[in-house]
Amino acid sequence: MDRPNVNEDGSLKTPAYVTVFFNGVLVQNHFELKGQTLYIGHTFYKKYDAAPIKLQAHGDHRSQSASAISG
């Protein structure tokens, strides 16, 4: 995962990117994240000093695993 870089005025300098392996198979390679994931509305970036990465799963996924790697 490459974190986003934000200018002092809050505008986006460079977006975040993520590489994802699912059950050992590459499914997203250096995929650009458009900002926060919203139920309704357009995605956007907010300036943060630090924040955790949150992954969400739905249902029973005992036999599956996903991981993101840092770039």
- Residue-range definition of the domain harbouring residue 22: 5-69
At 6-34, the pLDDT tens digits run: 898 989 999 999 999 988 999 999 999 99
Cα separation, 15 vs 30, in Å, equals 11
Comparison of pLDDT for 45 and 61, the residue scoring more: 45
Please give the tally of structural domains in the chain: 1
Q: Where are the alpha helices (DSSP H) in the chain?
A: none
Predicted structure pTM score: 0.67
- Residue 46 tokens read as 């907010």
